[in-house]
Amino acid sequence: IDDSIKSNINTLEKLKASISDGHCADWYISSNPVNYHCLPSHEDLSGSYQFLEDTGLPFALETLSNSTVHITTISIDEFASQVLDDLIKTWKYIVIALLIAIIVSFVYITLLRWIAGIMTWLSLVAILALIMTGAVLSVKRYIYLRDNEPPPVTSKMIKGQLGNLANIKELWLTLTIILGILLLIALIVIIFLRKRIVIAITLIKEGSKAISSVISTLFFPIIPWCLKCCVVIWVLFIAFHLFSLGTQVFKAHGLNGMCKCEDKYENLKNGDVCNPKLFQELCHNQSSGTTCTTAGCRYYEMDSGSFVVYLHLFNAFGFFWGLWFVS
């Protein structure tokens, strides 16, 4: 709508006139972007259906709902397109960031000629602080998930898959244990090998002098770095495809006294696994006999099965093998 028309709409009569003239839509539905198209939000369709039902407007809820479910299978292509668009728009900033990283690395190596001891110990302390911070954040997340019910994840996109992972308390407990073990190992190594670290600092100082004499050695790491980026991109590409494997799991939500189910869904409760098509057929509003508008069969997660876990482990093995190979 044109801004001049929008600014003149200040009364109900003008709004009705703008709608009748085709300047404004009769009604709006909350939507999400899917592959450069605006599609209705699956979780908001029931409320929109109630509004349109009250106004007497035709609305194919089941068809529209099913279309939003099936079309989200192209989320990986959308993600790839967004990554490509971001790279096209930000390649200059990426190049500038790489140049800054090269300059910082050169300054760091140069400083090692005079203050190798201070720089090395600061680096070790920074590593310990990083591991400790990760462990603390993991513990806090685990305690939160242990004491609170995480919000349901309704998105089938990559963000939804990551949200499901972030809501697994066992994952954060495992991560906490791993980071704690790494922190303990790092502390033991630093404490018991401190004399060898002092010897290593002397070697680092001499190595810094050698690198400063042959500047071209600073540019060689760019080649393995590019190869490592290719490995990371390929592993992520495979991981996203693995996340899309499996069967979609839907669970009932919003069931109350107004929505009555029959037949095999007679004892259906909130949180029970359900089928969207059967839910629409077997569950109706008691007063009007129409489709339940306050309850629904909502997407919960993707049940990938145990075989996908082994594929993820193999992909992780390929990730580390690829990084070490190109190094």
- pLDDT score, position 231: 93
Buried residues in 87-122 as b, exposed as e (16+ CB within 10 A): eeeeeeeeeeeeeeeeeeeeeebeebeeebeebbee
Percent with pLDDT over 90 in the chain? 19
pLDDT (tens digit per residue) in 167-195: 888 889 999 999 999 999 999 999 999 88
Contact 313, 214 (CB under 8 A): no
Burial class (CB in 10 A: 0-12, 13-18, 19+), 3: exposed
The secondary structure of residue 291, as a DSSP letter, is B
- DSSP secondary structure string, 37-84? EEEE-GGGHHHHHHHHHHHT----HHHHHHHHHHHGGGHHHHHHHHHH
Residue count (the chain)? 327
Tell me, what's the pLDDT at 124?
92
> Where in the chain are the domains?
103-220
pLDDT given at position 102: 78
- Cβ neighbours of residue 105 under 8 Å, at least 6 residues apart? 218
pLDDT digit string, tens, across residues 38-78: 665 544 444 444 444 444 444 444 445 445 444 544 555 56
Per-chain mean pLDDT for the chain = 77
**44 contacts: CB under 8 Å, gap ≥ 6:** 29, 30
Average pLDDT over residues 31-36: 59
Are the CB atoms for 205 and 113 separated by under 8 Å? yes
Q: From CA 282, how far away is CA 293, in angstroms rounded?
A: 13
Inform me whether the pLDDT recorded for 325 exceeds 80.
yes
Q: Which of 29-38, 58-67, 89-98 has the lowest mean pLDDT?
A: 58-67
Q: What is the pLDDT of residues 111-162, one digit of tens each?
A: 877 888 888 899 899 999 999 999 999 999 999 988 887 776 655 555 556 6
Candidate from 32-41, 108-117, 288-297 with smallest mean pLDDT: 32-41
C-alpha of 174 from chain center: 20
Give mean pLDDT, residues 240-258: 78
User: Cβ(260)–Cβ(282) under 8 Å?
Assistant: no
Report whether pLDDT(28) > 80. no
What φ, ψ does residue 297 adopt, rounded to 5°? -110, 95
